Each structure stands twice: as C-alpha cells, then as structure tokens.
Amino acid sequence: MKTMKFFMLASAFASMIGFSSCLNGDGYSGSYTVGGIAKVNGFTGMYYFTGIDGSKIQPASQEGLDNRLSGNPKYAQIIYQYDPSTASANGKEMMVQMVNCLPILEGQVINTLPVETQNDTIVPFVYNSTVQLQPTFFTRTDLMLPISFYVHQDVMGEYDTYSKELALHHFNLYYEAEKDFKNGKMTLHLRHATDVYIAGDDDKNKGQGKRDYLFNDYRYFSIAAPMYEYMSLNGDVYPSHIIIKFEQVNDESDYTDKEEDGTYEFDYTQWKEFFDEMEKNKSGDSSDGLDAK
C-alpha cells in the first residue's frame, strides 16, 4: 500500500494510528493512505470533509461517522484511503474509504489572566517537546495546538471510553491584551482542568483522578478575538510570533508537584504568508474576516 504525507501533518497521527477502535477498514486495492486535519461539513448521514486547500473529501460510506461526529466538531483528524484514478480532474474532489476519524475538541479563549486554582480543581499542563507535533492553523485564526497530557491507560480501548475520557480534559487559553500583546509577540496562557473520571462499573478509578498514560492530542482554539485585539493595539499588524505559556508537571499522580511555567514560541509570519499565497490562488475573502498588513 502506498502512503503519502498530507501537507506537514503526517506526524500528527501517532495517537490516531495507535488508537485501536477504527472505522470500517476495507480499503481500495492499490490506494494511497492519507492523514490530516480536515474541516467537518454536512450533517447526520451526509458528512464530508474539506482540506486546508479547499479540496472535498467525500466518504464512500457513512458507517461510524454519526457516532464520531455527534458532538458537531468543527474539525477532525482523519485517515482515509483513495484511488487517484477516481479523483476529479483538478484533484479537488475525491471519493474515499474512511479508516479513522477522531473529532478535535475545542478549547475556550478567555480575555483575562488565569486565577489561582480552586481546591477541587486540577490545573496542570504538560508539553512534550520530544514528540514531533507542531502547532498548525486551518485559517489565520483557527489554531490546532498539540498538547501532551496524562490519561487513563484504557483510553486506547473502545472509542466510547476514549471519547468520555478526553471530554473530561478542559483546556483554556487566557490573555490580557495590554500585558501580553506587544513587541511583535502575542502571548497566550494555557491551563488544563480535569474532571473526575468514572469508568462505568469499574470502581477502581472512581473519584481517584489517577492518570499515568501520556497521551498526545490536538485541541482547536479560535484566536480571532485576541488576534483582533492584538491588531487594534499594534497598528493593524499581525504578530510575528505566538507564545504559549503553560504550567508543567512531571507526575500526573501528583498535580501539586508543579514545575516552573514553561513557554513554547513559534513563528506566525510563515502561516500568514501561507494563507496570503492561498488567497492569491483562489477567489473569495479570508474566512477569519481580518484584513491586516
């Protein structure tokens, strides 16, 4: 079976490929296998996906998609197979056999600095720099942020267990524009809160909050509001870099053992140039509605 990279996102699917509960897997003979982040379109029984280049990815079967996409996510990580001979002449539309589809959960973006932890709330964050996952954008302001955090080992079992566990992990980005948006850099503060885990009839984990399996995942954040505020404060110019500040722990079994805050900085200019070039090659306005230098 031939394989291809889907833009620069092939490494994003280490967690997906390791996840055991897949969709129908009978692929096309001699097909390509492709993975990437895609936008979810349609509705129950009529789902399809679009790539960052606007290409339409039409599943040949809807089997399993209603369950995976029941929460109406804006984006999903998908793996699929397709026969190039069946693609449209311009390559912008293809019928595919879905291999896996995992929704990307959305985090909140809040225009205030994070407050002190409540007594019953866990607020850690672990960024695993050894895993080659990079922040990526689907539009100028739709950020897919790779995060490493601890989950229960059984997350790699059935999909229902996986989805319930991940839904208990809440990620928020905080900012205070006057302090965080200057000198060409936009700083966002990431925080992570975890609800109590209850695994059905399995009493051993109830109420314990014990998670010791390091898991890599993407979360989606719309940073349109902070981007607008940054531009308002900085002469209608986009930031050159985005900085994510976070709390980090070594051992999920003891969230109180927090290290010093960490930072992760990445170049935003290359993403702006990427979307500028895309707009030159197609008609229509930018989906984020922002017009800046």
pLDDT in tens, 2-46: 332 333 333 344 444 444 455 655 555 557 888 889 999 999 999
pLDDT in tens, 233-270: 999 999 999 999 887 665 554 555 555 467 888 999 99
* Pairing verdict, β 185-194 and 181-182: antiparallel
pLDDT in tens, 52-103: 988 999 999 999 999 999 999 999 999 999 888 777 767 789 999 999 999 9
Structure tokens at 118: 């409540």
Give the mean pLDDT of 122-138: 62
Torsion angles phi and psi, residue 231, rounded to 5: -65, -35
Q: State the pLDDT at residue 5.
A: 30
pLDDT in tens, 148-184: 877 877 777 788 888 888 888 888 999 999 999 999 9
CA-based radius of gyration for the chain: 20
* Pairing verdict, β 136-137 and 142-151: antiparallel
Q: State the pLDDT at residue 259.
A: 55
Torsion from C-alpha of 248, 157, 201, 254, nearest 10 degrees:
-10
Structure tokens at 48: 């399809």
